[in-house]
Chain A
Amino acid sequence: MEERIAAFCEKVFQPILQPVFLPIDRLLNKIPTDPWATVCAIALFITAMLVVGVVMKESYVNQGRTKKVWYTDLRLWTVVCMLPHVLVYFYFR
């Protein structure tokens, strides 16, 4: 069954889709993995931290908080949760 679906897709869709995806693959292959893979990964973590910590309103981030003390601030939690990941991707680059 699976082989028949693959044969059908190869015959019908490959001629249409290959000219779209192959140039994209070639373009991505030209991007050097070192350092761009690590840069993109770490940028993703830092962007998430900045969006929660700076862009979003404090009232929205901490909506529903009953104890208003520094250690219940979810902006701080976001940074604490993200930092180990940044270190991991820096170490295993």
Chain B
Amino acid sequence: MDAIEPYVSLHFIDYAIVVVYMIGSLVLGTYCAKYVGNADDFFLAGRALPFWAIGFSIVVSDIGATDFVAVAGAAYRNGISAANFDWMGSMPAMVIAAFLFVPYFWRSGVFTIPEFLGRRYNGAVQFINGVIWVFVQFVMLAVMLWITADKLMYTILGWNPYYTLWIVTLITGFYTFGGGLTAVVFTDVVQLIVMYVGGLGLLALCLWEVGGIGALHDRIIAMGPQYQDHFTLLLPNDTVGPFPWTGIVFGLALVMAVAYMSGNQLIVQRTLGARTEWDAKAGMLFGGLLKVFIPLMVAVPGLCAILLLTEPLDSADRAVPELIRIYMPAGLRGLMFAALFAALMSHISATLNSVTTIAVTDVVGLIRKWSGAAPFTEKTALIVGRILTVFFVFSTALSAEALGNADQIYVFIQTVLSLFQGPVLAILLLGILWRRATGWGGLAGLVLGVISCFILNYTPGLFPSEDPFLFVAWWSFIFALVVTVVVSLLTKPESDDKVRGLVWGSVVKDPNAQAALQERVS
């Protein structure tokens, strides 16, 4: 066994693969700019996306370069339970999103989820939701940029993190600026293929070395009592770690995952750009099928590392870099790093596009409306969208180091992301399923729900897990649901005209409502 070395070395062929990949992404993304003529093209790809492109794009936008390292590290340390987020935390939520939420968003012709909430409830709900998403995604992007450039590429390859950060951001920003969602989605398709080839290559090599999945299981279980749960997905309720089965089933599968797949602009924007309602639903399902393989690529190598790396690691997150260094031949290493760049770039482009869409539609657009200014024309919205893309490219790159190095902010953002999803899901669900839900009910549910999240998260001794965000998500969802119902019943019902075509009954049973909706959209 080789001793642990500080950096993984790349050969000429590896560099060539990474450079060809980068140039290819840039050329493809820039080529898509010729299809962008107005805001609809820029934000929603002209509503012409086929299901397969949507499915590919959803998966690759959801996976960051850090997933390859962090999830493998979690599997190395805690076992296969780390894979719950891609299995239990994806498919059921994607089916619910496909058949409950996506048809409504798609039929209502909105650009963003906050815009849908604005139509169903009121402008305040739209604005608060929009500001939360812009803030969270901006900071998440900055943090991911720095973690990938510094903690991943610098730690593994010894590359200057500033060069990595600026090169990747400028390339991705350039094609997102020009080609909008079309460029994002079609580069995503290529990036997913690169990611799968690199990831499955690592998986195949690791399984070959350990003697197959059966041998992996038997040899790890035989290592002693501390490894007995390494092949158990659902752990007992009183587990000290963050993944007890009750939290996974109720908090993750029924709340956090559904909120993520149905209320996250980064995911839903692809389905809003679908050419038909069928493509929107099919894209979600296809994405769910592709996600089955993600844990195999990111978690199983972490388990293999337990057997293959006999030298103790200073950090579990070193598991994948060490496997790459020791077992991957020249050429495949380049492909693996191209896969890591693909994961990062797809996440950057997806975030830039979705943040810009929300900023134009739900923040700047709403402020203009409240100040009495005329709404943006198609052409102006496109120009503002591109200006904001440039702004977000430079501001995230410039703030990446400060935000990425501040552990407290990273914890804070992770907490906020898991916290407001319960209340958002509650008002989305009631907005679609319950005609009686009112604007005041939605606003109270959102604001008090987020406050309840903070209280539940910061009050010690309420839940068995030391990191109780799954339980917080579940109970904040229930609380927001109750608040929205109570306040709605105490306030004046919305008029039929306002909710027509936005709630389940009127969409499914009333053809006149559909006609009115089409008229409103056009």
Interface residues of A (CB under 8 A from B): 2, 5-6, 8-10, 13-14, 17-18, 21-22, 25, 28-29, 31, 33, 37-38, 40-41, 44-45, 48, 51-52, 56, 60-66, 72, 74, 77-78, 80-82, 84-85, 88-89, 92-93
- Cross-chain contact A10 with B278 (CB below 8 angstroms): no
Report A-chain residues with C-beta under 8 Å of the C-beta of B175.
none
Give residues in B with beta carbon < 8 Å to A. 80, 87-88, 91-92, 94-96, 98-99, 103, 231-238, 245-246, 248-249, 253-254, 276-282, 285-286, 288-289, 292, 408, 411-412, 454-456, 458-464, 508
A52's contact among B99, B234, B463, by CB below 8 Å, is which?
Answer: B99
A-B contact count (CB 8 A): 138
Residues of chain B within 8 A of A37, CB atoms compared = 234, 236, 245, 249
Listed by A's residue number, 7 A-B pairs whose Cβ atoms lie within 8 Å are A14-B459, A41-B249, A52-B99, A74-B278, A74-B281, A81-B289, A92-B231
Complexed CA–CA distance, A67 and B411 (Å): 48
Given contacts A21-B463, A74-B282, contact A89 B92 (CB under 8 A): no
Smallest CB gap from A36: residue in B: B245
Q: Does A74 contact B249, Cβ atoms closer than 8 Å?
A: no
Known: A17-B459, A21-B462, A33-B236. A2 touches B408 (CB 8 A): yes
Contact A82 B455 (CB under 8 A): no
| New A-B pairs, 10, CB < 8 Å, besides A31-B237, A77-B282, A77-B286 | A18-B461, A25-B237, A28-B246, A29-B236, A33-B236, A41-B253, A60-B103, A61-B281, A62-B278, A85-B292
Give Cα A50 to B275, complex, Å.
27
Give Cα distance in the complex from A37 to B92, angstroms.
Answer: 16
CB neighbours of B249 from chain A (8 A): 37, 40-41, 44
Contact of A66 among B276, B456, B508 (CB under 8 A): B276
> For B292, what are the chain A residues with a Cβ–Cβ distance below 8 Å?
81, 84-85, 88
Q: How far is the CA of A78 from the CA of B287 in the complex (A)?
A: 11
**Least Cβ–Cβ distance between A12 and chain B, in angstroms:** 9
* Chain B hits for A88, CB < 8 A: 87, 233, 292
User: Are B462's CB and A18's CB within 8 A?
Assistant: yes
Min distance, Cβ A50 to any Cβ of chain B, angstroms: 11
CA–CA, A9 to B245, complex, Å? 27
Q: Which residues of A contact B276 (CB under 8 A)?
A: 64-66
| Contact between B285 and A60, CB atoms less than 8 A apart | no
Known A-B contacts A74-B282, A92-B80, A93-B234; the reply to A25 vs B95 at CB < 8 A is no
Residue of B nearest to A92 (CB): B233
Q: Say yes or no: B91 contacts A41, CB within 8 Å.
A: no
Residues of B within 8 A of A40 (CB): 245, 249
Chain B residues whose CB sits within 8 angstroms of the CB of A74 once the complex forms: 98, 278, 281-282, 285
Chain B residues, CB < 8 A from A17: 455-456, 459, 462
Chain B residues within an 8 Å CB radius of A72: 278, 282
User: Is the Cβ of A5 less than 8 Å from the Cβ of B95?
Assistant: no
Q: Is A63 within 8 A of B278, CB to CB?
A: yes
How many Å lie between the Cα of A45 and that of B87 in the bound state? 11
Contacts of B91 in A (CB 8 A): 45, 48, 81-82, 85
Residue of B nearest to A31 (CB): B237
Q: Are B103 and A5 in contact (CB under 8 A)?
A: no
Interface pair B282/A60, CB less than 8 Å apart = no
Bound complex: CA A84 to CA B175 (Å): 36
**Residues of B contacting A2 with CB < 8 Å?**
408, 411-412, 458
Complex formed: what's the CA distance from A77 to B248 in Å?
25
A5 to B454, CA, bound (A): 9
A28:B233 contact, CB within 8 angstroms = no
B460 touches A14 (CB 8 A): yes
- B contact residues around A78 at 8 Å (CB): 95, 285
- Known contacts A33-B234, A33-B236, A74-B281: does B95 contact A48 (CB below 8 Å)? yes
A81 to B290, CA, bound (A): 9
Complex Cα distance A62/B80, Å?
A: 36
Question: Which B residues lie within 8 Å of A52 (CB)?
Answer: 95, 99
Inter-chain contacts of B254 with A (CB < 8 A): 44
Report the Cα distance A6→B460, complex, angstroms.
7
Contacts of A14 in B (CB 8 A): 459-462
With both chains docked as a complex, state the minimum distance between the C-beta of A25 and any C-beta of chain B, in angstroms. Answer: 6
Q: How far, in whole Å, are A5 and B408 apart by their CA atoms in the complex?
A: 14
Which residue on chain B has the smallest CB distance to residue A63? B277
Answer whether A10 and B99 are a contact pair too, CB < 8 Å, given A28-B246, A33-B234, A82-B91.
Answer: no
| Selected contact of A80 from candidates B231, B233, B234, B289, CB within 8 Å | B289
Q: Which residue of B lies closest to A38 (CB)?
A: B234
Q: Which residues of B contact A85 (CB under 8 A)?
A: 87-88, 91, 292
The minimal Cβ–Cβ distance linking A83 to chain B, given in whole angstroms, is 10
A-side contacts of B88, CB under 8 Å? 41, 44, 85, 89
